Amino acid sequence: MSIILAFAALLGAAPASANDDFQARVHAAKMAEAAATGPDYQKALWGKIEALTASAYKGCVAGNKPDDKLPFTLVLDVDAHGKPQNIAVQPDIPVAHCMAGYYASWTLPTPPAAPAPYPLEIDFSIKP
């Protein structure tokens, strides 16, 4: 848990234009997903991390009392070896930082060659 907290502290420092940069990264990730190689990568990605993500999310929600079920977005870049880098979340809530810590520790499928690094965006929400 201390690794997650330390990582969360690192994510707290953001430039003044953090929202603009974050939105640009979300847009870049959506463009990559819509590209010709996007659907195949999404299939490989979720085939590998769907169960991990669900388990981690449940743990993050349960571990933040009261249960924090606000929606959030996570963006990251995937390097050529599948390692997540440059992870950011919005809004700045504990559950989002908890999930960022999990993603930082995982190895994702090797992404398409372009764009490099490969942008990825994940929206989290609990629907009643």
Q: Report the CATH number at residue 40.
A: 3.30.1150
**What is the side-by-side strand order in the sheet with 72-78?**
84-90, 72-78, 118-124
Alpha-helical regions (H) of 63-82: none
Q: Which residues of the chain have pLDDT under 50?
A: 1-16
CA nearest 82: which of 100, 118, 108, 101? 108
Residue 102 lies in a domain: yes
Residue 28 lies in a domain: yes
Return the pLDDT at 15.
45
pTM score > 0.85 for this model?
A: no
CA nearest 109: which of 50, 29, 35? 50
Could you give phi then psi for residue 75, rounded to 5 degrees?
-125, 150
Residue-number span of the structural domain to which 73 is assigned: 2-8+18-124
Residue 37 lies in a domain: yes
Domain count, the chain: 1
Q: How many helices (H) and strands (E) does the chain have?
A: 4, 3
Residue 36 lies in a domain: yes
Q: How many residues does the chain have?
A: 128
Return the pLDDT at 123.
96
Residue 13 lies in a domain: no
| E-assigned strand segments in 2-103 | 72-78, 84-90
